A = this chain, B = another copy of it.
């Protein structure tokens, strides 16, 4: 039994109002994998990198017990590279460079040892690659979580709608929920999207938290107000990794467990943004995570007696 995460393992170069980095390790599967590794011990990645990625960088993942057998290394190839600059409000950013490199021909391969996959996170990739991955699994996983973005709604909407039919949980932001559904009200948007296939919808609202819709219920998760947000890169991926990692750990899919999973995802995302790249996510302790969970509990709790 394992948790498989499909997504990019890549280099990022990031500029924020607080500084800038050279090429550092990034990619959705890196952030999600690291986040999940704190909650579940059988995390397996599927990705593609170039020879430039280097053993030291792969060791970052391996040292967290993450299985990288499914991370294909293309001989002579260059890893996916993204560079972006965040504006002063940290909520918007400009992409400076996108070099797909080996990602352009990504043909996801599933090692035999991954066929025990019970939980799968399909990170933000072309809907076609997401679909291919699912079709190559011998057994249908217990839980399929899919992350996507507005870009795929613009250029591959039909493919996206096709893969959504096989998805249990979709995670997108509020603008994307509105785009995908054509509804402004998030309640109406959620109702429309839940007709497309997913049983649960998570609407990510960044500093405003997240909403979970499903089973005729709704849950509003807070975001932890932070004094310093250094770098939002990877926050959504850390969230998704923490979310599915928690569910893999507790083994039971229910609305209540999804709520808790969102809190764990939010806690990991809140750590992620406090340093550049995945630096903070590489060095957490169980106590760090427990402390932050307690902060979320205090943040949201109220008791009204009749």
Contacts and interface: CB of A to CB of B under 8 A. Distances in A.
Copies in the complex: 2
Counting chain B CB atoms within 10 Å of each CB, the highest count among A184, A263, A290 belongs to A184
A226 interface: yes
B300 A304 contact: no
Contacts of A154: none
Contact of A304 (B211, B297, B302, B304): B297
Interface residues of A, number: 42
Interface in A208-232: 208-209, 211, 217-223, 225-229
A68 interface: no
Contacts of A90: 184
A225 B208 contact: no
Given A208-B205, A208-B208, A260 B302 contact: yes
16 contacts: A185-B225, A185-B226, A186-B207, A190-B225, A209-B209, A209-B222, A211-B225, A218-B225, A218-B299, A219-B300, A220-B300, A260-B304, A262-B302, A293-B304, A297-B304, A300-B300
Interface of A: 88-90, 184-188, 190, 205, 207-209, 211, 217-223, 225-229, 256, 259-260, 262-263, 290, 293, 297-304, 306
